[in-house]
A and B are shown apart, each in its own frame.
Chain A
């Protein structure tokens, strides 16, 4: 079946550094990918829609200059958390839709847990 991978699965970094998270669709192409984050004891929230070959679309309240998204190919989207701070510590997850005969099926990555010290 279709698989979406994320790398790294967890990362610990110092405050002020930047962290890049990769999301890959392993056996299908995705012109669109979605990025989410979840803070402890809160719901998963959509951050942005990543579009291959064009700019990402950010949800209200998400800083586009802080969360840089690059959808460089049909199988790879990256999320870079720039100048990370402890309040950015969260669980980040991506998803990618695969179009089939019955419509789109959304496949999710396993997530990346970011801890900023």
Chain B
């Protein structure tokens, strides 16, 4: 069974800082890996999707990398803003979805 670990579990940074969220997974037989954000009481919002054949994807201030062989993905957020405060989840996907427990990010104005 796929096991997904996200580090750190919680992160608090001042506005403007660049930050990195880490995701590791045990089974490299995945089709893709997705990063999501979740706001309190809301459903998931998809941020980035990396196909298994790709190494990174970028969207605005977000950049996600994937090293499938080592079972690692990182989400890089540049110039963080208070609106980035949320829980971030990674989900390596094979025949099923497996979600990490998330990193709770707080960006302090």
A residues whose Cβ falls under 8 Å from a Cβ of B:
32, 34, 36, 41-46, 49, 91, 93, 95, 97, 103-106, 108, 110-111
Contacts and interface: CB of A to CB of B under 8 A. Distances in A.
A44 B32 CA distance: 11
Contacts of B97: 44, 91, 93, 108, 110-111
Tier of interface size on chain B: 20 to 34
A108 B97 CA distance: 8
Given A105-B101, A108-B97, 11 more contacts: A41-B51, A42-B49, A43-B46, A44-B91, A46-B43, A46-B45, A93-B97, A95-B43, A108-B99, A110-B97, A111-B96
B76 interface: no
Contacts of B43: 34, 36, 46, 49, 95
A44 B46 contact: yes
Contact of B32 (A34, A41, A45, A111): A41
Main secondary structure of the interface of B (DSSP, over half): strand
A49 B46 CA distance: 16
Interface of B: 32, 34, 36, 38, 40-41, 43-46, 49, 51, 87, 89, 91, 96-97, 99, 101-102
Contacts of B99: 106, 108
A70 to B, nearest CB: 18
Nearest to B89: A106
Contact of A106 (B34, B38, B45, B51): B38
